[in-house]
Amino acid sequence: LGNRAKVRHAKPITLPESDSEPEPDIAVVERLGRVYRQHHPYPENIFWLIEYAQSSLAKDVDVKTKVYARAGIPEYWVVNLKTMEVIVFRCPTSDGYQSQITLTEGTLTPLAFPDVAIAVERLLNA
């Protein structure tokens, strides 16, 4: 992603609507430099989130999808390490995500970066 985004690992994001600061495994956010010293990324700064789930799958899929969708996070990926699949949630609404697809192979293209292709296998073997 180069200079187009910053990849944050297990650092908080701020969701003002839910008054919470979850720590997704990976948050791909705008590069705002020193601004993040003053506050964590807000939903409008977030391109997409990734969670790796093994024992936390129910929470990552059932609870966090609703929280992230309500906050307006445009894209959320859950890497299910038990079944070796990636669940992609897109098109947030106040009730959850309108789109959900599950992949076990191939490539994923983030909505914010249509020129970027990420191998599903790379996510599963990270």
CB 110 within 8 A of CB 49: no
Strands (E), 1-126: 6-9, 26-29, 46-53, 75-80, 85-93, 96-103, 107-108, 118-119
Domain tally, the chain: 1
For position 68, what pLDDT does the model report? 95
pLDDT above 90: residue 59: no
Confidence of residue 56 (pLDDT cuts 50, 70, 90): confident
Minimum mean pLDDT range among 57-71, 72-86, 102-116: 57-71
CB 51 within 8 A of CB 60: yes
Domain, as residue range, for 90: 2-124
d(CA 58, CA 63) in angstroms, rounded, equals: 7
Overall residue count recorded for the chain in this entry: 126
- 55: Cβ–Cβ under 8 A, 6 or more apart, which residues? none
Residue 30 gets which letter from DSSP?
-
For position 11, what pLDDT does the model report? 94
pLDDT above 90: residue 32: no
Q: What CATH number has the domain bearing residue 55?
A: 3.90.1570.10
Average pLDDT over residues 66-83: 96
pLDDT above 80: residue 33: no
Query: Considering the entire predicted model, what is its pTM?
Result: 0.91
